[in-house]
Amino acid sequence: MDVFRMNKLSLIFTAFFFSLVLPTPVAVAQPSVAFDVTMRDGRVFTDKVPLYMVSNTDAVALADVCYLLKFQFSESATLMSIFTSERDTCVLRAENHFALLQRGGIADIVQLGGAPIASGEKIYLAPKHIAKLLALWLGASASYDATTKKLMLAFKPTQRDTIARPPVALTPTPKSDTAKPPVPLPPALDSLDKRYTISKLTVEEKANGAIIRIFSTVANLKYEFIAPDKSGVAYLTFVNATGNPAALSQSFKDGFLKRSTALRLKSGALQLTFEFNTKKYKLLSSDFSAEKGTNNFMMLVLREANVQEILQQDEKGRKINETLERDRDKWKLDVIALDAGHGGKDPGAIGATGKYEKYIALGIVLKLGKLIEKNMPDVKVVYTRKTDVFVELDERGKIANQAGAKLFVSVHCNANLNKKADGSEVYLLGLHKTDAALGVAQRENAVILEESDYKTRYKNFTDENLIMITMAQSAFLQQSERLAEFVSANMAERTTLEPRGVKQAGFMVLWTPSMPSILVETGYITNADDEKFLTSDDGQQKIAQAIFEAIKKYRDDYESR
């Protein structure tokens, strides 16, 4: 069939981008690369990542960069997917100069100055190319100085970063209710570093002042505090103390506290300097003391509060909370689309004793739907079909999209000329890694020939576009794979079907859903034993129960994240 015949361009592109057989260069440790990062709220921090010599190239492990910037990622020997907290994604492949970037819902393929390098189980990239990648992807200002081995990254402020939080009374809090900073701390300040006496400091701005906490790893540390003068400068000196100046030095944009700096003195002391913005705010008083029951210290600095500003902040805070609640509702897993394969004039595969796939798939889906409706009353179940009717492949995904589904599960039965082939498989959308996966996809996709206008409807369903669609849906890949693994494990545990694992193939029914999607090949209808299990009420109920338990586990995991 024309739909499955790969043209020359497709073969070249597929072989080049997705099926590379890579050598395994050895990564040799070199001096570190310093990262100077300016956060969106104006704070600055410095950290380091190891520099390696890989294939005669200075390179940094992308995983180290993700840890530093607090990005989630999924990494294999040749492919890496990176995710920000804003759900922007970046997909890179070793030995390929192109990257798929998605930011703010807009996807783009960009060319890097150099290709990532695979070594062992990690993927590396030259620092200058990392700077270019971060600039293109995140809209940040980034550059790399090869002489000093320093990469500078500055995030642009956004409107949400400049909106003040609702005011809270400026009072010390007990140890059991330690105040949290208004934004996540940079990685260098995440936990106490016991190599230093003074490990970290946190700053919390209030409507009428600032709370500064200094964390110490030793008890009864001697100190000298000089309160802020008219210029707004305060000095705090710890005797016989150590600290990391880079971690303790921060800058703040448009805040009451402008910056904090740390300096090691020749006497062995550590001096912290705090500069407050007295031009914009009137300083009223300050206090510094050790926190009872801990090794830590607290500085309270009061400023004159603007009552009108506080009222405005209250209103802004209320609106922000309302927006967050609406956004949170959008991400709730409250609609699940269930797709029973084939139907109507399309019987699907025919079993060893003449049973039709379309009836088995429908029976399992209806049982699965009942389990979800009974045990998840807050979840709406959408069916692409509930009776023996024919539904076009591309319409199935559209039904899920129009219903606002957050999950798409398509149920089928497998078939093979080899009557001994048996077992269950779970598929994600992707390129066919094996001839067997290709064969399964071709059989399931063959239903388009039943559609009178299939040449028009599916003219864009080409092998080249399969590559692009697979990359564009990479934002859902991690979630789809997680659900697929849960289903595969549960099928092995709850049924007598032989588990055949999680695989990828170009199923057309998975092209259109804009959500995490999987296709379950419940068993081989052409195998007499599998067919007997698949057609029995008990077998269908066990399969439905296995998929339901996987969805339940996926939902708990999804919503906890």
Residue 111 CB burial class (10 angstroms; 0-12, 13-18, ≥19): exposed
pLDDT given at position 462: 52
Cβ atoms of residues 199 and 181 within 8 Å: no
What is the C-alpha to C-alpha distance for residues 426 and 434, in angstroms, rounded to an integer? 14
Q: Which two tokens stand for residue 62?
A: 């992308």
Instruction: Report in angstroms the alpha-carbon separations of 60 from 122, 139, 154.
Output: 10, 21, 19
Cβ atoms of residues 88 and 137 within 8 Å: yes
Among 309, 103, 300, 127, residue whose Cα is nearest residue 207: 309
What is the C-alpha to C-alpha distance for residues 207 and 357, in angstroms, rounded to an integer? 66
Owner of token pair 């930011």: 103
Residues of the chain by 3-state class (helix, strand, coil), percent to 5:
35, 30, 35
pLDDT given at position 119: 84
pLDDT given at position 234: 93
For residue 351, the number of C-alpha atoms closer than 13 Å in the C-beta half-sphere is: 24
Weakly modelled stretches of the chain, pLDDT under 70: 1-30, 105, 157-192, 305-331, 430-475, 506, 561
Interior angle at CA 198, CA 193 and CA 199, nearest 5: 25
Whether pTM > 0.85 for this model: the answer is no
Amino acid at 22: L
Which domains can be identified in the chain, with CATH numbers?
A: 24-154 (no CATH), 167-306 (2.60.40.3500), 331-560 (3.40.630.40)
